[in-house]
Structure 1
């Protein structure tokens, strides 16, 4: 399952190229998802789109049920959904408890629930891949705010517990932690000025990352069964974790 934004779209395409059937989740981007599903089906794989508001747990359960009824039990789960508003918070009072809880519900709670629903059939089969889309904010605190940073760092603890518990049962659990990826919600198209300044804002490789580079990292985690219990920062060398 994946979203239709930059990283989600690129990951759907990479997994389809690997021969995977794809369940594409979206909330409001109906037009974009139709085009994506058509492109995925043209690769010769099964692909369907499923709408759900991941701030509502009942819709998360419904999403899972519809995916299973249409495509079968997922063997790969890419937990990619997330929100990051308000961005650039400078003081803790800028984030209400309501916004804090809503961010955690989407970034962490619904991610946990989908994992809880998808994991038991993986265990029965003796094979599965669970991958979380985190952020360098989970390592460093980042610049978005306490709601976002804490929701992402919580995923890291979840990775470690799940990986230790289920690794011997054929299920690997990892996370990718991107930073400064162009053509995403965080850095939409038109971020040319930031791209030019990427060297000066501390990225050793001197440029922004691309959604395809995150997708390739996810694909590596899917293909490599000896990669488990890892949170991999993909940030152009910005941090040495």
Structure 2
């Protein structure tokens, strides 16, 4: 049983070690917090030291076993350091949640330039893959593990003004499927989540005032926006033994918004 101070009632991840990228705010922070409450030792990370310090302080106040470090996932050295220091501190790695993403372009798709296109795919797809690739040997040593990529409902139905970003999220669905055969032989499961419109700083333009939020919510069958904690529970399920026969899948959490390619 968990202590009365915890809002959760399971310790499904006791003894596990998790890395969550871009985990000092929003969805990433909620995921790190949930994994910690379920018993995991968690390495949080983001590009800014002050954000890392703030997140670690907040999570430690909840009596969670967390550490944090700066990691720009687009930099190979940062990724390597994140993997090696986590393994050194906690003795291994069991769980990777790849949440970091970039979107330098807002507007019509044909207006994007090559540098913006490259950044979107370098961070959202390539860096996500190489982060996982580098962690795989550590997972193998532990006898297996679990990977979750944070994609988006936009990967199924691209948002017009962030279409290149949406396409990069479509690529993550393919990456999940592509990794399954080889990772399964290593007892490593790989899945994704595809959040809809979640109330985070990234989506703040869609809910910054009541009128805008109501208009956006009117297009969602559940008539509301999601919150980060509603993503965290699905990730905790996927990386736990409750999801032990699930790999190659994407869980959509979008309030009923269509998710067909």
- For normalisation by structure 1, the TM-score amounts to 0.90
Q: Give the structure 2 partner of residue 81 of structure 1.
A: 100
- Relative to structure 2, which stretch is displaced further, 188-197 or 227-236? 188-197
Residues 52 and 13 (structure 1), Cα distance of their counterparts in 2 relative to 1, 3 Å cut: same
- Relative to structure 2, which stretch is displaced further, 215-224 or 43-52? 43-52
Residues 139 and 122 (structure 1), Cα distance of their counterparts in 2 relative to 1, 3 Å cut: same
- Relative to structure 2, which stretch is displaced further, 150-159 or 140-149? 140-149
How big is each residue's C-alpha offset from its partner over 1:83-141, in whole Å with a ceiling of 9 and x where there is no partner?
12212x2141x211111111111111111111001112212322201000001121122
Q: Does 1:23 align with 2:43?
A: yes
Q: 1:133, 1:61 → 2: CA distance?
A: 20
8 A Cα contact 2:109 2:161, kept in partner:
no
- For normalisation by structure 2, the TM-score amounts to 0.83
Q: Give the structure 2 partner of residue 114 of structure 1.
A: 131
Q: Give the structure 1 partner of residue 160 of structure 2.
A: 143
Q: 1:19, 1:144 → 2: CA distance?
A: 39
The structural deviation recorded for 1:61 is 1.9
Q: Give the structure 1 partner of residue 59 of structure 2.
A: 40
Q: 1:125, 1:99 → 2: CA distance?
A: 38
The structural deviation recorded for 1:161 is 1.6
Q: 1:177, 1:60 → 2: CA distance?
A: 23
- Given candidates 214, 233, 237, the residue that maps to 1:216 is 233
Q: Does 1:90 align with 2:108?
A: yes
The number of aligned residues is 237
DSSP-derived class of the 2:204 partner: coil
Q: Does 1:192 align with 2:222?
A: no
Residues 180 and 191 (structure 1), Cα distance of their counterparts in 2 relative to 1, 3 Å cut: farther
The structural deviation recorded for 1:240 is 4.3
How big is each residue's C-alpha offset from its partner over 1:33-73, in whole Å with a ceiling of 9 and x where there is no partner?
32321232344442111102222223222222222223333
Cα-Cα RMSD: 1.9
Q: 2:153, 2:259 → 1: CA distance?
A: 11
DSSP-derived class of the 2:35 partner: helix
Q: Give the structure 2 partner of residue 59 of structure 1.
A: 78
- Relative to structure 2, which stretch is displaced further, 149-158 or 214-223? 149-158
8 A Cα contact 2:26 2:201, kept in partner:
yes
